[in-house]
Amino acid sequence: MGIQLTILGCHSATPRTNAHPTAQYLKINERHILIDCGEGTQVLLRQQKVPFAKIKHIFISHLHGDHFFGLVGLISTFGLLDRRTELHVYGPKGIKEIITLQLKLSKSWTSFPLLFHELNSKESQVIFEDKKISVTTIPLDHRVYTNGFLFQEKEGARKLNMENVAMESEIEICDYHHLKNGKDFTREDGSIIDNEDLTLPPRKAHSYAFCSDTAYKPDIVPIIKGASLLYHESTFLEDRKNLTERTKHSTAKEAGSIAKQANVNKLILGHYSSRYSDLNQFKIEAQTEFEHVELAESGKTFTI
C-alpha cells in the first residue's frame, strides 16, 4: 500500500552519458505503472531490477521523442521474453499508428494483447479506474497535444477498533468484513451499534501528480490540489525565462508557484535543460516559492 516512485530518466531533449530522457516507474496501491518511455528506458528498468511482467499499464504524456522513443523497443523486448499478459498503453491519438507501423515493418508482432487507449480530449478526464486506483488526465500547454496524469489511491477499508469490538460478545470474526466496509452492527435484540463506534478511519489515500512538458499553466491547480507528490517539469531557470514562451516549457520558480498554489506535500523538479551544470540552482529557485522541493535524479526513489 502507498506510493513508491522511481525516477529512471529526468533530463530534456537528447540522451547523454549521464543524462537520460523522461521515464518513471510508479508503484501505487499494488499497481505497477510506467510513465513516459524515453530512449534507454528498458535498460534503466533493468538497472532498478524492475520485473517487466508486472508492468501492465504505460502512460505516455506526448509524442515528442524524448518521452516515447523507448516504447517500441520495450514492447519488442516484452515479445522476446514471451510475455502473455496484456499491456495497456495510454497516450495521444497517433501513438497506435506510430508503434504498430514499426512492429509491422520489422515483423515484430507481439505475442501478447497490446491495447491502445488514445487520448484527444482537452478536458480533464478519468482514463483508468479499478478497485485500487484511478488515473485522471491533466491537460497541459506544450507545442503538441500533451497530458499530465494524476494517480490516486482509492480509500481503503476502515480499521477495527478491537478494544470496542471485544466488548460486544455477539460480534464474530465473520462480521469483521462488513465492519471494515463501513456497515453498522445489529444486535439480536434489534439495537444498532454505529460503525464509527467499532472502527477507526482508514489510512489516508495518497496521490501522485505527474506534470510533463508544459508552459506555466495555473488552471491545472484545481486538478492536482493537495497531491501527496507533484512532479513538475523545470526546463529552465528564470535567467532564460524568455525561452519558455517559444518552447512551451516552465522555469523552476514557476513549478514552485504551481506547487504552492496547489498546496501539495512535496515537489519534484525535472526535465532539466543541458544548458545548466549546477542542478541545485533549480531547487534554490523553486524554494523561493515553495519550501518542500526535491530534485529528480536517475535511480532516485521517493516513497510515501
Q: Which of 66, 184, 213, 239 is catalytic?
A: 66
CA-closest candidate to residue 141, choices 46, 233, 53, 207? 233
For this structure, is 219 an active site residue?
Answer: no
DSSP annotation string for the chain = --EEEEEEE-B-SS-BTTB-BSEEEEEETTEEEEEEE-TTHHHHHHHTT--GGG--EEE---SSHHHHTTHHHHHHHHHHTT--S-EEEEEETTHHHHHHHHHHHTT---SS-EEEEEE--SS--EEEE-SSEEEEEEE--SSS--EEEEEEEPP-PPEE-HHHHTT-TT--GGGHHHHHTT--EE-TTS-EE-GGGTEEPPPPPPEEEEE-S----GGGHHHHTT-SEEEEE--B-GGGGGGHHHHT--BHHHHHHHHHHHT-S-EEEE-B-TT-S-THHHHHHHTTT-S-EEE--TT-EEE-
Annotated catalytic sites, by residue? 66
